[in-house]
Structure 1
Amino acid sequence: MSDDVYELFAIRYAHHPRMARQNFISHDVHDGPMPLDYFVWVARNDERTFVIDTGFNAETGKKRGRNFLQCPTVGLRGLGIEPDAVRDVILTHLHYDHVGNFDLFPNASFHLQEREMAYATGRLMCHHLLRHPYDVEHVTGIVRRLYADRVIFHDGDETVAPGLSVHRVGGHALGLQCVRVNTRRGWVVVASDASHCYAHFETEKPFPNVVRVDEMLDGYRTIQRLAASKDHVIPGHDPEVMRRYPAASAELEGICVRLDVAPLHQSA
């Protein structure tokens, strides 16, 4: 495999049953069950491996009322990846469900938008509503990694490695970034919380946990522009991802799917 083409995987580790009205600002959404899944992602080739986000643990899941299924390391080890061998972790942002297991990667450097660190440690955290998705121990843990020379800051759109780049989209968090990955099927965008579900970017109806609505709406268009097609956009929390893509292996059925291959069925 070329050093600028990656295998790409989504590892599901938690679940939250909820209703559609909880997932949109708009009030004209027809209500019904619309659960969320929680993922970490892996992009790898023969030269390098990137873990994208780290998830949360069972204790945090209990505190936040989420159904914790298994540690994300189950999926990683199923792919033959030992956490202490990982050298690069991309954090899309510092919310509890994207950074909570940072301590499982003791030898990694963490790639983060500079603006996200400033946001998570700045004056806007005086507002409970804005700081609620953050956990002080997670944020201070990344600050400690910074002082140990383990944080690499990015400012806007930057190439991290051949075939892989990060792009600040904001909206959901001021320093939220998505990850664009070159795969054998073309450019795939790991949207993370730039679009929680397919329905968010497809309808341009915002998710309610938002700092800047304009940036969230612009982000829906940005992720589609960066991707080879809308079937190349991977939302951050949609259970449909597990249905659209094939399992990475028989042993990882229901835990990990491949995103570098065509979906089993195309979007409408």
Structure 2
Amino acid sequence: MSLWEVHAVKYADRNSRTRRDSFIFDDNHDAPHAMDYFMWVLRRDGEVILVDTGYDTAEARARDRPIRTEPGAALAPLGIRPEDVTELIVTHLHYDHAGGLHLFPNARLHLQAAEMAYATGPCMCHDTLSMPYTAGHICEAVTRLYSGKVTFYDGDAEIRDGVSVHCIGGHSRGLQAVRVRTSAGWLVLASDAAHYYENVFSRKPFPIVVDLQNMLDGFDRLKALASSPDLIVPGHDPLVTKVYPPGAAGHIWRLDHGPVGKVPH
């Protein structure tokens, strides 16, 4: 049985947000509500799979959303150099998840076909839907495709023994969560299928949504995929840094042994 290490790597945060930015239905909409930004590393023996890339300083300036650490440098405490990453699961192509594709030039991308179709199709004629995407990032994904370095999936698929992807959609057409076999059981990296614990456990949809039904159904799918609700890891919740133990550096947390604090559900 193949067990994987899983590390959450925080590269940015944003405190100038309120709850209306995180939940469609919320009575306390003006209250502050911070957001953390993560990449994730899966490791087994000498094998490494990176999940998402974060975004770089140029994108941070363009969107006025500063980062704390360049994504490549953020991986250094784990002994990972960007040029050595050869397998990269892209949960979706929003700027904060695929804004660093160019930093990992040797990586094969693992992507839902629906996400590429969505990010390059007529939906992007609508500013509201195109806002989380950046054209240069999409062009990088297309360039990687024409270099023979993209593997597409249509729904659920096994990437490696103990690592699978599951198309959930909702937030974007081809959003995929990642299921990983760990010593604590099946852990699910929700990415933006649940930005926060509160999204999934209180069934409060996130405001950036292309299909609300898919988003709501996705909350149930996350629960079904994980061995325990405690092993659902939301994509942006600062509480992840409170309930999981610290890792190789101050911006890294170890996930595969399970939480050491109380998960709010």
TM-score by length of 2: 0.96
Give the structure 1 partner of residue 256 of structure 2. 260
CA distance in 1, matches of 2:91, 2:29: 30
- Counterpart Cα distance in 2 of 1:104 and 1:261: 29
| Paired amino acid for 1:59 | A
Within a 5 Å distance, the mapping from 1:1-268 to structure 2 comes to: 4-17=2-15, 18-29=17-28, 31-249=30-248, 252-253=249-250, 255-268=251-264
2:110–2:151 CA contact under 8 A, matched in 1: yes
Q: In 2, distance between residues paired with 1:102 and 1:73? A: 11
Q: Is the 8 A contact 2:18 2:29 kept in 1?
A: no
How much has 1:28 moved relative to structure 2? 2.2
The AA in structure 2 aligned to 1:220 is F
The structural deviation recorded for 1:248 is 1.1
Q: How much has 1:63 moved relative to structure 2?
A: 2.0
SS of residue matched to 2:83: helix
**What is the one-letter code of the residue matched to 1:256?**
I
Any idea what SS the aligned residue of 1:199 has? helix
Distance 1:194 1:167 in 2: 10
What is the CA–CA distance in structure 2 between the aligned matches of 1:203 and 1:62, rounded to whole Å?
34
Say which SS state the counterpart of residue 68 (structure 1) adopts. coil
2:193 corresponds to which letter in structure 1?
A: A
Q: After TM superposition, what 4+ stretches of structure 1 lie above 6 angstroms from structure 2?
A: none
Question: Equivalent residue of 2:93, what SS?
Answer: coil
Inter-partner Cα distance in structure 2 for 1:206 and 1:193: 11
Is this contact kept in 1: 2:85–2:104, CA < 8 A?
yes
Q: Distance in 2 between matches of 1:121 and 1:213?
A: 21
For 1:209 and 1:30, the matched residues in 2 are separated by 16
Letter in 2 for 1:202: F
User: Distance between the aligned counterparts of 1:8 and 1:94, measured in 2?
Assistant: 22
Question: Amino acid of the residue matched to residue 143 of structure 1?
Answer: V
List per-residue Cα deviations over 1:16-65 (Å, max 9, x = no partner): 11111221111424642210000000011015211000000112112223
The alignment yields a C-alpha RMSD, in angstroms, of 1.1
TM-score, length-normalised on structure 1?
A: 0.95
Q: Which range moves more in the overlay, 60-69 or 114-123?
A: 60-69
Deviation at 1:244, TM superposition (A): 1.2
In 1, Cα distance between equivalents of 2:62 and 2:18: 20
Number of aligned pairs? 263
Alpha-carbon separation, structure 1, partners of 2:247 and 2:220: 29
Does the residue aligned with 1:67 lie in a helix, a strand or coil? coil
Which stretches in structure 1 are left out of the alignment for 5+ residues?
A: none
Distance (whole Å) between structure 2 residues aligned to residue 51 and residue 71 of structure 1: 15
